Amino acid sequence: MLATSHLSAGYGHDTVLHDINITVAPGEIVALIGANGAGKSTLVKTIAGLLPARAGEVTLGGERIDALTPRERVLRGVCLVPEGRQTFGGLTIEANLRLGAYANKSLDEAAVRALMDEACKPFPILLPRRHEPCGNLSGGQQQMLAIARGLMSRPRALLLDEPSLGLAPALVSEIFRLIAELRERGFAILLSEQNARQSLAISDRAYVIENGRITASGISRDILASADIAEKYLGVGHRVGDAGGARQIAMTARLREIMAAR
Ligand SMILES: Nc1ncnc2c1ncn2[C@@H]1O[C@H](COP(=O)(O)OP(=O)(O)OP(=O)(O)O)[C@@H](O)[C@H]1O
Ligand SMILES: [Mg+2]
């Protein structure tokens, strides 16, 4: 179980996250839904240790990890697949994958190869093309590579930061389908997304984050069960992120009200 307790974090003089309490169990997909600038990336970066916690705790399997370095957290099983994928276009697909195993210096070549086979199983397009530059891949395929690279670290908790960002609609559906399949492997998955509708559709539970605070939480199925909600407020067929900023924030606020009323 991945959990945060009264977690706060920020940049410089600005405290961005306030009193964040979330849990993600193994085999569970938990959506973190919020508009642009709500604090989603700040939260996943704080869990991964790229940003220090200013108060509160992060625990994995009941043990505190908030004082550990990012690498130590990777070795414990926390893996961040960052926003914007951060794959290296000039490197081959294989070289990108190998970077995912960098934290564990004790792996020999055979172990790395076995990991690569395992990590690419959900994404069969990757291995046959492993000698190609990663820049040859489409945006959706690069997102698959970014996730596979994350799996190379043998995570227990997967933090996926806006995996659908910038993808064409057909690929967005494909990425969400693949993420849903990852649940069967027992990872605790935290899915940070502006795309409320599709992340609710594949997640078990959801938190709404606004201005750095969790303002609502609930069972995803219950929230989606109302066709009315899906149509009016979650923009069926649209990415919430496609809406203008103000409209998007209003949609998130409406979603919070709906969840609060249930
Ligand atoms: N490196 C930084 N330095 C200072 N402020 C930052 C930094 N990164 C983010 N912020 C601020 O922190 C707040 C939360 O940003 P964050 O990137 O976590 O939002 P987000 O929910 O991930 O948004 P998006 O959907 O656009 O990715 C915003 O007000 C943002 O301006
Ligand atoms: Mg972000």
pLDDT of 234: 55
Q: What is the number of the ligand closest to the CA of 35? A: 1
pLDDT of 99: 92
pLDDT of 197: 86
Would you say the CB of residue 40 lies under 6 angstroms from ligand 1? yes
pLDDT of 169: 87
pLDDT of 55: 98
Q: Atom 25 in ligand 1: which residue has the minimum CA distance?
A: 36
How many angstroms is it from 83 CA to the middle of ligand 2?
A: 6
pLDDT of 59: 98
Looking at ligand 1, which atom is closest to the CA of residue 35?
25
pLDDT of 243: 52
Per-residue burial over 17-39, b = 16 or more CB atoms within 10 Å of its CB, e = otherwise = bbebebbbeeebbbbbbbbeebb
Q: Which of 32, 33, 41 to mutate to test the pocket of ligand 1 (most atoms within 8 A of CB)?
A: 41
- HSE-CB at 234 with a 13 A cutoff on CA atoms is 27
Q: Which of 13, 15, 40 to mutate to test the pocket of ligand 1 (most atoms within 8 A of CB)?
A: 40
pLDDT of 237: 38
pLDDT of 225: 75
pLDDT of 226: 59
Q: Tell me the domain boundaries of the chain.
A: 2-87+155-261
Top-tier CATH class for 2-87+155-261? alpha beta
Q: Which H or E run includes 162?
A: none
How many angstroms is it from 14 CA to the middle of ligand 1?
A: 11
Task: Give the mean pLDDT per block of 10 residues along the chain (262 residues).
Answer: 98 96 98 92 98 98 97 96 89 94 88 95 94 93 95 96 91 92 94 91 94 92 66 46 61 74 65
CA pair distance 89, 30, nearest whole angstrom: 30
Give the rounded distance of the alpha carbon of 74 from its chain centre: 15
Q: Which residues neighbour 14 within 8 Å (Cβ) at sequence distance 6 or greater?
A: none
